[in-house]
Amino acid sequence: MAEKIPIYYLGKKHLVPEGVTIMSAIEYSGHRLIRGCGCRGGFCGACATVYRVPGNHQIKVGLACQTRVEEGMDIAILPYYPAQKKISDFKPGDDPVPVLNKMYPEMFRCLGCGACTKICPQDLAVMDYIAEAQRGNLDAVAEMSFDCVMCGLCASRCLAQMVPYNIAMAARRFYAAVFLPRPDYVKGRIAEVKEGRYDKEIDSLVSRPKEELQKLYETRDIECI
Amino acid sequence: MPYPPHFDAALESVAATRNFRKGQEIKRLSDEERTALIADYHPDYRSEGMAPLALGANKGGRVPVELKKMLEAYSLFQPLNINLTEPDYTTDILVVGGGGAGCAAALTANDLGARVLMVTKLRLGDANTLMAEGGICSAVRPEDNPYMHYLDTIGGGHYTNIPELVKALVMDGPEIASWLMDMGVMFDYEEDGSLKVNHCGGHSRKRMLSCKDLTGLELMRVMRDELRDREIPYLEFTPVADLLLDEDGRCAGAVLYNMETGEFNIIKAKAVILASGGIGRLHIQGFPTTNHYGATADGLAVAYRAGAELIHMDSIQYHPTGTVWPEQLLGQLITEVMRGHGAHLVNVEGNRFINELECRDTCASACIRECTKNELGIKTPTGMEGVWLDTPLIPDIQKHFVGIYQRFKKYDIDIQHEPILVFPTQHYQNGGLAINPQAETSVKMLYAAGEVAGGIQGKNRLAGNSLLDIFVYGRRAARSAFEQLKSVETNGNLTAGHLLKWQESLQELGVPKEQQSPIFLPDYTPAGKG
Ligand SMILES: Cc1cc2nc3c(=O)[nH]c(=O)nc-3n(C[C@H](O)[C@H](O)[C@H](O)COP(=O)(O)OP(=O)(O)OC[C@H]3O[C@@H](n4cnc5c(N)ncnc54)[C@H](O)[C@@H]3O)c2cc1C
Ligand code: FES
């Protein structure tokens, strides 16, 4: 068994095995999580955690399911953080800046403090993508914010009181729905299916005995990598 | 410190054979060879892992013992004591589960003009859907077609799939892709504006559409945003503890459990769509899992006691490449697409032992054989075992697999230069509630969609087919529920009679009172681990 180190969860001391994640350590200390845990794999953002370590004045953050315990750390998992979301309102032909401005005018009040970027557990350049959003560069916002798990930490720190992750969400959807290519073959295939182009072929498979299917399957041609 | 010195020798062997392996062809197995390999090594074939059900629609059918405990279990409340005459909520369509299938159902029902309420266990979107990395398969390219998709799916499922369900899956596929694009999902594209498509295990065509290596996250957050845009009501941390029927045996509501206050509430509905996902957190045969925290088979338990039939519930999918080291990442998925991009599976001597593009059950069985009978696994200092996934073979891995690259970097393992130690991990429930192409279960007005339903994928699901399945059947469930609704003018009174009867049968069988379900969440505290 690994060495035990002390941690403080909600101010109470527990001895936990070295090297485990914050989430495992909290569970090891006897707490069964309801809030603060979703996917356990670093995807969902349910487990945004703030902590401090001895001898350091700085506030640190991480996802509890992805971050290893440190000796003496003082931990709280954020159960919930209130956020505003505006109803999406964009269509082809719309200019990005007025659309985003109408949805989230507070976006232009960014003070440039960088607290959002500093706190992001996904290491996203939050402040910079907000700057791109102000300029209407949706593709840049989409790329820069893509790994966002919407944990809420940026919103908890923003001096201009905006909810950066919802602004990024709107920008990504706007970008994808309106500006990404739409290959014609997708529409074409849907039409073919509707017209019944594949019905006969597929019905012949639906009713085929296993042995025949197996022969077809094993001799089917496979596209090269 | 990357891997501890313990791994030095095994790391040297894998590096030493890398160049040779690049040009090595490994033949795919014949059907007989594959069947034999699976029968000998797949966990589904371990007889001590399965037991027959003692009651219910599938009486006598074999299921994993951990699931049997959930199915042959008492309600969390005393059925006699609940007041069904004054429901706390009423709606037309109750959607159970806030993952991909549930959102697809709720959005589609809303399109049609139905009154919808969604209830979910954790937060909206905390679900297996959000964790999918690889992508979603749909036969949209000119080089591909639904016919080939059908053949791949049914062959991959070893011809156990229900043919009509596969037909609906592959035929609806293109429409689903387009529906997701319209909603604003950021799929990957090539420079020329065509969709980027990946190869993946068992598919004969490149047909997996992706959103970098966070496909599920992107799908889930877009659907969640759309649900909020439309102001569709949903209740979080409020799972279903049981289903309620009306006097005619139609599903007509549910008992909800408030996880934070411990209260039970009653909801009356004209139709119920179950989309509560999978079973990974039951840790079948002690396997680690890739699944989210709430994957505890609740939907199967409540539907089974309401009389619904199951199919293929003896079939669990183990993903061949779950993480073994570092232990903090135990069980977490390493996407199939890595093998699609050329990463080899390699044993302690540096040799490949299977064609990496074989189906999941085949690759998983081969990994288990390597670590058991062949004794060629790589042992960890903590007593686990695995084989290498040789990631340095993938060019620009840090670009294509940002998420995985970063995750290992946190533990000082650089997958550009070092392989990943992997072993099968419990990933997906192949079986589930039996449905027809209209997503109807054997209980009237109860629909099932997504991982909780079975038969579509047969006894072995192909990569990328589940994300398609949840949307196809989520949408189908909503449409057929809406159609049927019109004929249900008002339901009769709610009853819990089926729960009382179930309780009596369990007592007759001598099932101990403590055996209750659903469990909602696993218990990882020292007390819960026992
Ligand atoms: C790590 C991982 C990677 C994957 N990668 C891929 C991939 O690349 N491609 C692919 O096709 N498939 C993939 N899969 C499989 C696929 O993601 C899932 O099978 C699919 O998303 C399931 O969708 P669902 O909506 O049925 O269930 P889920 O998305 O799990 O949603 C179920 C929801 O129901 C809730 N719930 C559970 N019980 C109750 C209850 N009692 N009451 C109310 N709500 C309840 C859950 O909390 C959850 O929110 C992957 C799965 C995992 C775990
Ligand atoms: S639990 Fe989902 S990110 Fe940690």
- Between these two residues, A142 and B488, which has the higher pLDDT value? A142
Percent of chain B with pLDDT over 90: 89
DSSP state of B47: G
User: Are both B5-41+321-426 and B79-315+430-485 of the same fold?
Assistant: no
CB-facing half-sphere around the CA of A35: CA atoms within 13 A: 13
Closest CA to B122 of A36, A43, A48, A41: A36
Residue B530 has pLDDT above 80, yes or no: no
pLDDT, residue A1, reads 55
**Residue B95 pLDDT > 90, yes or no?**
yes
How far does B493 lie from chain A, in Å, by closest CA?
34
What pLDDT does residue B490 have?
A: 67
Radius of gyration of chain A measured on its C-alpha atoms: 25
Judged by its nearest atom, the ligand closest to the C-alpha of residue A66 is 2
> Using the beta-carbon criterion (under 8 Å), do A190 and B178 form an inter-chain contact?
yes
pLDDT at residue B91 in the model: 96
Write out the H or E segment, with its range, that includes residue A140: helix A138-145
Ligand 2 atom nearest A47 alpha carbon: 4
* Range of weakest confidence among B147-151, B269-273, B317-321, B526-530: B526-530
Question: Which of A67, A139, A150, A173 has the highest number of chain B CBs within 10 A, making it the mutation to test binding with B?
Answer: A173
Q: Which residue has the tokens 């290519």?
A: A181
For chain B, the average pLDDT equals 95
Q: How far is the CA of B123 from the centre of ligand 2 (A)?
A: 11
pLDDT digits (tens, 9 = 90+) for B375-397: 999 998 878 899 999 999 999 99
d(CA B351, CA B346): 5
DSSP H helices, B96-199, are 100-112, 128-131, 146-156, 163-183
Interface of A with B in 96-135 (CB under 8 A): none
Instruction: Specify whether B339 is catalytic.
Output: yes
Q: Which residue type, as a one-letter code, is found at position A163?
A: V
pLDDT at B327: 82
pLDDT digits (tens, 9 = 90+) for A74-103: 999 999 999 999 999 899 999 999 999 999
Residue B163: which of A41, A187, A206 has the nearest Cβ?
A: A206
Q: Which amino acid appears at position A57 of this protein?
A: H
Bridge pairing between strands B316-323 and B50-52: unpaired
**Which of B283, B245, B297 has the alpha carbon at shortest distance from B121?**
B297
Q: Is B234 left (phi over 0), alpha (psi -120 to 50) or beta?
A: beta
B344 a catalytic residue:
no
**Residues A60, A50 contacting (CB under 8 angstroms):** yes
Strands of the sheet with A4-9, listed across from one edge: A12-17, A4-9, A74-77, A48-52, A60-63
User: How confident is the model over B321-328, as a mean pLDDT?
Assistant: 91
Percent of chain B with pLDDT over 70: 99
- Percentages (nearest 5) of helix, strand, coil residues in chain A: 40, 10, 45
Span B156-215, pLDDT tens digits: 999 999 999 999 999 999 999 999 999 999 999 999 999 999 888 889 999 999 999 899
Q: Whose CA is nearest to atom 1 of ligand 2?
A: A40
Predicted local confidence at residue B1, as pLDDT: 46
CA of residue B129 to ligand 1 center, whole Å: 4
- What is the DSSP annotation of B326-385? SGGGTT-B--THHHHTTPEEE-TTS-B-S-TTS-HHHHHHHHHHHHTTT---EE-TTS-E
The token pair at B316 is: 């669990």
Structure confidence by residue, pLDDT tens digits, B61-79: 999 999 999 999 999 999 9
Q: Which of residues 383-412 of B touch A (CB under 8 A)?
A: 402-403, 407, 410
Q: Is A169 within 8 Å of chain B by CB? A: yes
Domains, chain A, in order of start with CATH, read 4-77 (3.10.20.740), 81-207 (1.10.1060)
Question: How many CB atoms sit inside 10 A of residue B52's CB?
Answer: 12
Q: What is the CA radius of gyration of chain B?
A: 23
Q: What is the pLDDT of residue B196?
A: 96
CATH number of the domain located at residue range(s) B5-41+321-426 in this protein: 3.90.700.10
Asked if residue B97 has pLDDT above 90, the reply is yes
Lowest mean pLDDT segment, chosen from A174-188, B259-273, B282-296, B488-502 = B488-502
Q: Does A143 touch chain B (CB under 8 A)?
A: no
Fold for the domain defined by B79-315+430-485: FAD/NAD(P)-binding domain (3.50.50)
| pLDDT at residue B440 tops 50 | yes
Instruction: Tell me how far apart the alpha carbons of residues B352 and B288 are, in angstroms, rounded to a whole number.
Output: 24
Domain residue ranges in chain B: 5-41+321-426, 79-315+430-485
* ipTM value for the complex: 0.97
